Amino acid sequence: MNAVQLQQAVNVSVFKQVQDTTQAQASILLEGLANTTQNVQAQASHPTLGQSIDIRA
């Protein structure tokens, strides 16, 4: 295997590792977001509270 092929193989391997890590982090982030959303909805005193913002001066 020459140097170019070795470099390409290493690059592909590193790319796959980064991709797997990013996918795992995204999954954890989405799971945490879902849990936070459920907690906020459970704590809300009114079902529509906080769904709109009045920006009038």
**pLDDT over 90 at 56, yes or no:** no
Rg (CA), the chain: 22
pLDDT tens figures, 31-49: 998 888 777 666 657 777 7
pTM higher than 0.85: no
Determine how many CB atoms are found less than 10 A away from the CB of residue 14: 10
Phi, psi of 41 (to 5 degrees): -65, -35
d(CA 44, CA 49): 7
Q: What ranges in the chain are assigned the alpha helix state H?
A: 3-43
d(CA 44, CA 24): 30
